[in-house]
Structure 1
C-alpha cells in the first residue's frame, strides 16, 4: 500500500468518482453522488459488502424527523449538537458537529423516502448522553439489516459495486491531486482506474494491531469486534499526503460483549435498571456513564470480565433486539430463581452480592447517588427471577482520523483543502473528542451516514464545477 507519484500514467479505465469502501458510508455517498448525476464506482475489498456497519446495532441518531414527530418527540439539531459536545467535553470541531446534527434529520428522511430504508424511531429508553429519543433503526435493529437495505437501495439505483477489489495504491501528482488508484484482486492481478475525485469510506484502524498499540494503548489487549479490513488505509494514505489528522486516541469501545459467544448485548439492559458486577460480586462503575468508556473499566476487572445482571422486566424488553434473541438462543443468557441460586451457579460471593443489592435499595429509598454518581429509581430495582450474561470489554472502531471541512474535503496540515480528496465515516475525524469517553451512542453511524451523504454531494459539486470550467470558452 503506497502513494505513487503521478507521471501521466495510462490507466486501465477512468471514472469521474471512485469511492473506496462499501459499508454504510460508501453506499450512502454513492447514492448521494449518483442522484446528482455523477458516474461512479464503489470498490470493496470483501466478496460481500458488510464492513463494521453489519457488526453494529444499526442505530443512527437524528434530530427533528417525522419519525420523532409521529411519537410526539420534540427535538432539534441544536439540542442534538449540544448533547454531542457535552459528551466529548467540547473537544470536537464545532462546525462538523453542527453539520452532522443539522443534516441528520434530512438525511434519514431522504434515505427513508427516496430509497425505502425502513427506519423507525427506537423508543422506551434513552441511551447515555442523549436528552431526547432520536435513535433511528430498521425493524430488526441490527446493522446487518441496515446494510441489506442499503445494498438493496444501491442495486435499485444501479450503482456499480466492485467486490474483491482491494485498493493498494493511490496515484497523486505534485499538487496533491489524486489522479487514480490501483486495485488488487485475490489472485494477485492488478488494475488501475483513473478518477477526478476520490472518497475514502474505508473506516479506521481498529484492525491494525500496531496502530492500536500506538494510539489506543489502554485497549491494546481488548478483543477487537470490528471488521478485520479496518487496517488504517485511509489514515496512512492521508499521512503520506501530509493531511491533518486529529483525535487518533478516540474510539468506540463497548463494555458488554457476551463472552465466549461474542454477541453484542444492548446497553439498553443497563439503561433500564441492569447492573454490572465483577467476580467479587461488586459493582465497579456508573453503568449509565456510557458503554464506550465501560470497555476499559470491564477489562480492568479480575479475569477481564463482568456479569450483566437484570430481571424479567428487562429481559422482556430486550427481546426487541435481534442480538439479544441470538444471545438467548446461544445460551449466553442464564436465568435464576433467587440471588442465592445465582451466586452459587456463577461462583460469586453471596455476601458481596447481597450487600450490592442492599446498597441499591438503600440508595433508591434515599434518592441519593452512589459513589460512582448513579441514581437508582425504585421502579427499576431488580426483582427475582434474575438474569445474567458473562461479558467482556471490546474495541469496536476508531473515531479519530483525517481532518475534514464542512464539505468532507480532507485538509492538509496547513488547514487547506486537498484538491479532490474526501473522507467520511471512520476514515475522517469524528465527533467523539480525543479518547474513549467522548463517544455518544450512534456517533459512528452518524458520521458514516450523514457525512457520507455530504461527501457524495460535495464530490458531485466539485465535478460539476470542473466540467463547467472545462467547457467555458
Structure 2
C-alpha cells in the first residue's frame, strides 16, 4: 500500500521476513530529542539500536525550540532549593491547562517519567540542567522548567548528539524512511529508506520506534485539520510532514487529538524569530494596530497565536519597559531578534503610538488601564505599571508543532482502532498524540519536549522489554 500526500511517498509493505542490508534490535525513525533520548536509554539497557535521520545533521523541531523541559522532583530542582513538586502536582497542572481533555494514562506516565529521564541524562550522560526560577511559565504552579545553561534547543540537540556519539550508537543521516514492512499479524519486520542519490536500502528490526514528526510542515494537512492556522507562519521544521499519521492510517492505527497544536503568539516579524513569553508573564502586554490590548497574555502563548492572528493584519506589538528588556536579553532567541533589528525604543506614549501606527489617545487609555494591582476585565492583574521608555517588538502568530498523532498506550505502543496494541510498533514525541488535548489552548508550556523526552524514555523501556522477551522466547 502506498500513501501519497504533500511531500514524500509513504508505503506499507507486507512480508514475514525481509532481505535487509543490516539488522538492529530496535530501529528509531527520527533523531530529535525523542529519538536521541530513547537511543541513550536503550544503550544503557544493553539493547542495540540504530537511529535513522532524514537530514544531513539532526535538528528537527527541538533545535528550533527554546529547549525547555518541564519536570518534577529532579536533582536540579532540589539543588536549587525548589521543593514541593511531584508527578501528581505536575499531572494536575497538565490537565488543568487542557481542561481535563488530555489522555489521563499518558499524562500520568509522562509526569512520572520525565524527572527520572532528566536525572538519567544528567547522571549517565553529563547533561547538566538548570531550573528557570525567575518567573513561572503559564499554567505551571511551581518552578520546574529545565534547560541547559545555554537556554536553546540547538544546544540541547548538540549535547544529546554528543552523548549518543560518545556511547557509539549509530546514526544514519540522510536516510529518509519511506517504507514500513509488516507481516500479516502487523508485526514490523523492517523499514526501507532512501539516500540522496535515490539509492534504496533496507533495515530489518525486532521493534520500531517512530520518533519522527507531526504534520505542521504539511500545508495540505494543516489546512484540513487546523484551518485557523492555514495561513500562519510556520516556526517548526519542514520535516514535519505527517509521515507517522500516514503510516498509521494505512495500517489501521487509531489517531488522537489531531486538533491539538502548539502555536505561539510572539513570532517576531519580519525577522522570523521567537521572543520569549517570559516578558508577557512578568508585565509585558500585546497591543494591536488600533492601540488596544485584546486578550489576557498570562493564559498562554499557544492560544495567543490565534488571538494575534485575529487582529488587523494578523499583527500585534509586544510592549514592555526597561526592567523587562533586561529580562528579555537573558534569552538567546531575543538577543538574536534584537541584533536583527526587531527592537524599537520609544521615549513617550506619542512615540510608541507612532511606532505602532495607532491613535495616541487610544494607546494612552490602554496603558492607563494597566495600573498595578487592579484586576482587568479579562482577569489579568498587573504587578506594576509600565513606565517610559517603552520598547516594542512587532509579532505575529505562528504554528510550531502539532500535538495530535498516533494513539498510544501509556507504554508508548501504538494502538489499533479497537484499542489493542500493535505487537512491536511504538511511537513518541511528535509522532504520537500528546498531552495537550485537542485544542490550541490545551498546550501547557513545555508539553512538546515533555512528550519527546518522557516519551523517548518510556518507549526505550518498552522496547527493551520486547527485545528481552523475544530473546527469551528464542532461547537466546
Output the TM-score relative to the length of structure 2. 0.96
- SS state at 1:139 partner: coil
* Residue number in structure 2 paired with 1:381: 385
Q: Does the C-alpha gap of structure 1 residues 283 and 198 become closer, same or farther in structure 2, counting only changes over 3 Å? A: same
- SS state at 1:471 partner: coil
- Alignment coverage as a number of residue pairs: 466
* Residue number in structure 1 paired with 2:4: none
Match among 137, 144, 157 for residue 147 of structure 2:
137
Q: Over residues 104-141 of structure 1, what are the superposed CA-to-partner deviations in whole Å (9 max), with x where a residue is unaligned?
A: 21111111111111210011110110000000001121
Unmatched 5+ stretches in structure 2: 1-9
* Residue number in structure 2 paired with 1:208: 218
Unmatched 5+ stretches in structure 1: none
- SS state at 2:78 partner: helix
Please show how residues 43-54 of structure 1 align to structure 2 within 5 Å.
Answer: 43-54=52-63
Please show how residues 111-260 of structure 1 align to structure 2 within 5 Å.
Answer: 111-260=121-270
* Residue number in structure 2 paired with 1:435: 439
Q: Does the C-alpha gap of structure 1 residues 108 and 7 become closer, same or farther in structure 2, counting only changes over 3 Å? A: closer
Please show how residues 65-464 of structure 1 align to structure 2 within 5 Å.
Answer: 65-74=74-83, 75-361=85-371, 364=372, 367-368=374-375, 370-377=376-383, 380-464=384-468
- SS state at 2:298 partner: coil
Aligned mates of 2:123, 2:329 — CA distance in 1: 28
Aligned mates of 2:320, 2:112 — CA distance in 1: 37
Native 8 Å contact 2:23 2:203 kept in 1: yes
* Residue number in structure 1 paired with 2:51: 42
Match among 23, 29, 33 for residue 38 of structure 2:
29
- SS state at 1:288 partner: helix
Match among 7, 10, 13 for residue 4 of structure 1:
13
Deviation at 1:303, TM superposition (A): 0.8
Aligned mates of 1:262, 1:163 — CA distance in 2: 27
Native 8 Å contact 2:316 2:396 kept in 1: yes
- SS state at 1:153 partner: helix
Output the TM-score relative to the length of structure 1. 0.97
RMSD: 1.0
Aligned mates of 2:252, 2:401 — CA distance in 1: 23
Q: Over residues 310-364 of structure 1, what are the superposed CA-to-partner deviations in whole Å (9 max), with x where a residue is unaligned?
A: 0110110111110011111111011121111121233221111100011112xx3
Deviation at 1:10, TM superposition (A): 1.5
Native 8 Å contact 2:113 2:457 kept in 1: no
Deviation at 1:407, TM superposition (A): 1.2
